[in-house]
Each structure stands twice: as C-alpha cells, then as structure tokens.
Amino acid sequence: MKKKYALITGSGRGIGARTAEVLAENGFGTALCARTQRELSETTERISGQYGTPVLGLVCDVSDDSAVKEMVGKAQDWADGVDVLVNCAGIAGPLALFEDADPDEWRNVFDINFFGTVHCARAILPAMKKQGHGKIINFTGGGAGGKHHPERQTAYVTSKVAVCGFTETLATEVEGDNIQVNALSPGPVETKIWDNVLTAEERRDLKAKEADLSPEAAAQLVAFLASERSGKLTGKVLSARWDTPDGLARDINGLNKSCRNTLRRIDGNNYHAQKDT
C-alpha cells in the first residue's frame, strides 16, 4: 500500500507545526510550507528526528498564486502524489475598528487567509482528481462560528467566514471525484496570532476560562479528517472544541445528510418547526 502524504501550509510554528507532527505520528509523509526558512527548518528537523517519517520543507508565500503552483508541484513530485491538503496559513491582520482599518491591510488578510486557501486548492485539485481521491482541510477561525464575533477584527473574521463558504461550495463540486473538503475552527489556541489580537488582560481572562489552550485538539481533528476513518464526510464546518473524532465517526452518513455544521443551519423543516412553536 502506497504511503499517504499530506501538504500542510502555515506549518513553521503553532497549530500548523503541531498538525504536521500529529500527521507524522499517524504515519503520513509530510510536506511543510511556511514563509520563513528558519522556523520551517526547525520543524522539519524535529519531525524527521522524532518520527522518522519522510518530511520536506518548502518556503512559499501562499498569497502568490504562481509561487503556490510551483510549491504544490514540488510537493507532488516529491511525494508521487499528495493525498491530503491542510490549509493552515493565516494572519490576524489589522486590530482596529472597521472605519479605522487600512484597506491595504484588509486586502493582505484576504490574500493570505482566503486567497491563499483558494490558490492551494486550485493548484492541487487536478492531481487529486486524476488519482481518484483526496482530502482538503481548511482552517477557519475566530468569529466564523460561536456566540460572539471578536471586536476590531472585521478583516480576519470576514476572511474566515469566506473560507467556510468556499469549503461548502467546493465540497459539492468535487464530491463526485471522491474528494472531501471540510473546514475546522481550532478554538482558542495560544499562538503568535493570539498574542497579536488580544490585550494582556484579555489573554489572562481567556486563560482563566479555558482549561486547554494548546493546538492538540485541532491537530487531532485534522488527523481524523485526513484518515480513512472520516469516510465521505464533506462540506462541514467543524469545531475542534466541540466536535470530537469519535463523535463524528459515529454518524458520518447522518451528518452528511443534515444541515448541521454548515453555514446553512436552518433547513425547511427546522424553519417551520421553529416558526410553529
């Protein structure tokens, strides 16, 4: 049986790095992509030394479509086919009220968070279709779900909601090609982005409320979605905080048929049931 390979963007540090490690723990060969060589080298060396699985480091800015095509091509040649794409690259962007935010900073957030995801998916889809299978996992995040939208983060939140819409629509388009596309929100995780968008007081409050601010749950959920255990689950927006691999595995077919874990949470039956009560 051919070894499985995953390409993970934004994997030089934080959630992306831990995701790459967990995939390596599960036997995947991993192609890591990041913007800076130093962090990329540290992570690839750690994976190679600790897990002994094939690992490749690729420097790339995912906002650059041409660079992404070249990067994906190198990963595919090295792996002789990539089975899983994990779009984890992202930035927080301007921390300001909407009317005060620089439009160029807004565009930069979309170039990386949204179009970076789009570029990578577009570059890898032809090969996934040719090989007859594939899984694409897109990271969404703060404000795309949950009860509260963060203040002063309109660019970040909007870009992540766009990733959800892209995920659901693309999943429908490629379902017939045996390609599954899902998104996941990692929940509160102590990363560099987290440090950039929260004040010291907000960080203290969050630490007091949350028992676990590590990327472990998100990385384990990615490993589940990348595995055969996730079956044909597709078109869903999942939460690492609330959706566990065991819980999802129990009812994949039922979840696929429902509007749960999507942006379109209200179907006709639910709407009329709520309206009549």
Amino acid identity, residue 58?
L
Please name the residue that has the structure tokens 């929260």.
198
| Tokens linked to 175 | 């379902």
Pick the catalytic residue: 5, 51, 156, 271?
A: 156
Q: Cβ distance 133 to 176 under 8 Å?
A: no
Whether residue 51 lies in the annotated active site: no
Beta strand ranges found along the chain (DSSP E)? 5-9, 29-34, 55-59, 84-87, 134-139, 179-185, 237-239
| DSSP character string of 178-229 | TEEEEEEE--S--SHHHHHHS-HHHHHHHHHH-S--SSHHHHHHHHHHHSGG
The catalytic residue positions are: 156
